[in-house]
Amino acid sequence: MIAVSRTDVGKLRANNQDALVAMEQLWGVADGMGGHKGGEIASAGARDGLTRILRGKDPDPKMLRFAVEAVNRRLYLQQKDDASLSGMGTTLTLLWAASKEVYIAQVGDSRAYLLRDGDFQQITQDHSLVQELVNQGVLTPELAAHHPMRNVITRAVGTDEGVDVDLFTKERKLGDIWLLCTDGLSGMVPDEDIARILRTKAPEAAADALLQTALDNGGRDNVTFVILKDEEGAQ
């Protein structure tokens, strides 16, 4: 995999509460929340905990779930021991590449997209209030994208003693392009624009264009993402 990443504080936030995960065949993004410093501590703690647990391990979906659950427990206990961190948590979306497959873990509203043979699709589904309303037929996806409560998430790492992790397995294919991103990108740049940029630009140029578009469209949140291009396919 060729990996290209960007993280930016955006135009309105005072600090960057996002974190990037990058280790061997594991990549991911985390979008922290809670308190003055809680968001930064949660996202960095998730990144560091995952790196510590998974370093040197062979890609495996059960191990990936275990690692997210372990990080969740650690962050949950940390905030229980420190009142200033009450309510802290983080989203987490990860991709771990094995020789024939990729394993994706997701909690929250950070997304994984796949561009394959020109077809662009969102692999994950947001754990958010508006997504639940879309699933129930109360909102259309178009209305959800601009809903005032679109940033309210229904799952996070570290907020509760247990966590429900969504896992996905996809076969690797030569030429696949993956995008893992926080909502500072997906909430500021429409899917059709993301797809157009990924289809027409090499990864480095695409990363520059995605970040600049998010900032040009308002940059209301921290922006963090990683683009992965599969130049090997299933081995």
- Find out whether 157 and 72 touch, Cβ atoms under 8 Å: yes
DSSP H helices in 187-232 = 191-200, 203-216
| pLDDT score, position 34 | 80
| pLDDT score, position 35 | 63
Q: Which two tokens stand for residue 16?
A: 């960057």
- Find out whether 16 and 222 touch, Cβ atoms under 8 Å: yes
- Find out whether 234 and 173 touch, Cβ atoms under 8 Å: yes
| pLDDT score, position 176 | 97
- Find out whether 167 and 101 touch, Cβ atoms under 8 Å: no
What is the C-alpha separation between 228 and 97, in angstroms, rounded?
Answer: 10
Low-confidence ranges of the chain (pLDDT < 70): 35-36, 148, 235
54-109 pLDDT tens trace: 999 999 999 999 999 999 999 999 998 998 888 899 999 999 999 999 999 999 99
Query: What are the residues whose beta carbons fall under 8 Å from the beta carbon of 187, sequence distance 6 or more?
Result: 145, 150, 151, 220, 221
| pLDDT score, position 235 | 67
**For the purposes of burial, counting CB atoms within 10 Å of the CB of 44, is it exposed (0-12), middle (13-18) or buried (19 or more)?**
middle
Query: What are the residues whose beta carbons fall under 8 Å from the beta carbon of 14, sequence distance 6 or more?
Result: none
Q: Residue 4: how many CA atoms within 13 Å on its side-chain side?
A: 17
* Domain covering 2-229 assigned CATH 3.60.40.10 in the classification: yes
184 membership: H or E segment, kind and range: helix 183-186
Domain coordinates in residue numbering, the chain: 2-229
- Find out whether 231 and 4 touch, Cβ atoms under 8 Å: no
11 phi/psi in degrees, rounded to 5: -100, -15
Q: Which residue has the tokens 């590449």?
A: 97
What is the C-alpha separation between 126 and 101, in angstroms, rounded?
Answer: 22
Among 152, 223, 151, smallest CA distance to 182 is for: 223
- Beta-strand pair 26-33/92-97: antiparallel
